[in-house]
Amino acid sequence: MINKWVARLTAITICGVLALGFWGYKGFSGSGKTISKGNSSNDSAKNFDEQVNILLIGADQRLEETKFNTDSLIVASIDPKTRRISLLSIPRDTRIFLTGHGYIKINAIASLKNLEVLQNSVADLTGETISGYILTNFQGFKKIIDTLGGVAVNVEKDMYYETGDQEDGYINLHKGLQRLDGEKALEYARFRHDALSDISRTARQQIVLKAVAKEMVQLSTLPKLPYLVPELMQAVSTNLSVKDILAVAKTAVGFNSSNVISQTLPGSFLEVDGVSYWQVDPLDVKKVVANLQQGLTTDRVIDEEPVDLLKPVIPTPSKPLPKVPGNSRDPNGTQSSDYEIFNVEASQTTP
Query: pLDDT tens digits, residue range 46-65?
Result: 666 788 999 998 876 655 56
Q: How far is CA 158 from CA 69, 161, 183, 203, 312, in A?
A: 28, 10, 16, 16, 11
Q: Is the dihedral of CA 249, 253, 256, 261 positive or negative?
A: negative
Q: What is the dihedral of CA 341, 166, 13, 19, to 10 degrees?
A: -40
At residue 77, φ and ψ (nearest 5 deg) are: -110, 125
Residues 126 and 114: their CA atoms lie apart, in Å, by 19
Residues 85 and 74: their CA atoms lie apart, in Å, by 12
pLDDT value at residue 64:
59
Q: CA nearest 216: which of 85, 88, 330, 324? A: 85
pLDDT value at residue 15:
55
pLDDT value at residue 274:
82
Low-confidence ranges of the chain (pLDDT < 70): 1-48, 60-66, 137, 140, 217, 219, 221-222, 225, 229, 233, 249-254, 257, 328, 331-351
pLDDT value at residue 60:
62
> Position 136: which residue type?
T
pLDDT value at residue 132:
93
Is the distance from CB of 245 to CB of 180 less than 8 angstroms? no
H-only helix segments in the chain: 2-20, 109-112, 115-126, 138-148, 182-190, 197-216, 225-235, 242-252, 282-293
Residue 260 pairs with which residues in a beta bridge? Answer: 85
At residue 13, φ and ψ (nearest 5 deg) are: -70, -40
At residue 174, φ and ψ (nearest 5 deg) are: -110, 150
Residues 338 and 294: their CA atoms lie apart, in Å, by 34
pLDDT value at residue 286:
96
pLDDT value at residue 219:
61
CATH number (domain holding residue 297): 3.40.630.190
Residue 180 pairs with which residues in a beta bridge? Answer: 151
pTM, to two decimals: 0.81
The DSSP secondary-structure symbol of 245 reads H
Q: How many structural domains compose the chain?
A: 1
Indicate the burial class of 271 (C-beta count within 10 angstroms; 0-12, 13-18, 19 or more).
Answer: middle
pLDDT value at residue 288:
97
Residues 166 and 89: their CA atoms lie apart, in Å, by 28
- E strand or H helix at 34: none
pLDDT value at residue 222:
67
Q: ∠ CA 87-114-228 to the nearest 5 degrees?
A: 50
Edge-to-edge order in the sheet of strand 52-60? 236-238, 132-136, 52-60, 69-79, 84-90, 260-264
Q: How far is CA 107 from the centre of its chain?
A: 13
Q: Is the dihedral of CA 282, 286, 288, 292 positive or negative?
A: positive
pLDDT value at residue 190:
87
Q: ∠ CA 45-51-56 to the nearest 5 degrees?
A: 75
Q: Which domain holds residue 259?
A: 2-348
